[in-house]
Structure 1
């Protein structure tokens, strides 16, 4: 391990500097799949259009049916949701918006 001496007499190990760089880079990168899914489900729960399409019925279930597709069930109604990714040039968590289909109620 290489030790660097900085101005002021502070020492830093190369491994420590590399770890700091990786942590800084990771903070601006895309979310891991688990947290991306949490972010998508939270967006569904927070979306007013979803609530209106389901006639304000409480959501009973959110199921991921395919890549970027969810099915929301609220009482007798189901609603298909598509996740539409937005293009971006800067690093960071994926930006997206929701596209809801028409609710089907039995």
Structure 2
């Protein structure tokens, strides 16, 4: 093999390894959604805004958007990337996020 062929094979191998590592960085959608739902259910702010009413329904009407219904109250929650994660280079592992709770609309 010529040096050029060996160099090309080495570059190709590095690119493939990099792509594989990046593919493993994010959680599969099922597990990511589970983390988002757990963050919503663990939110003290959500409980306060819903007046401690038990949650009857959780919908996901759009990307990074959830609609929560509890008794006569409904509110929206957004999943937002953590700003601390955006200033650092991409790190392997699950998405870093926090939730932003909207105002409750109660009848």
Q: Same fold (TM over 0.5)?
A: yes
Q: Secondary structure at the match of 2:32?
A: helix
Structure-2 separation of matches of 1:37 and 1:50: 18
Structure 1 residue matching 2:79: 3-state secondary structure: strand
Q: How many residues align?
A: 82
- Relative to its length, the structure with more strand (as a share) is 1
| Unmatched tracts of structure 2, length 5 or more | 1-16
Q: CA RMSD in A?
A: 1.7
Question: Which of 41, 48, 55 is residue 37 of structure 2 equivalent to?
Answer: 41
2:11 is aligned to none
Aligned position for 1:11: none
1:64 aligns with 2:65: no
Task: Return the offset for 1:29.
Answer: 1.8
Match of 1:73 in 2: 69
Larger mean Cα displacement after TM superposition, 54-63 or 87-96: 87-96
Aligned residue in 2 for 1:93: 94
Could you tell me how far 1:72 is from its partner in structure 2?
A: 0.4
Moved over 4 A (4+): none
1:17 aligned residue:
none
Q: Which runs of 5+ in 1 are unaligned?
A: 1-20
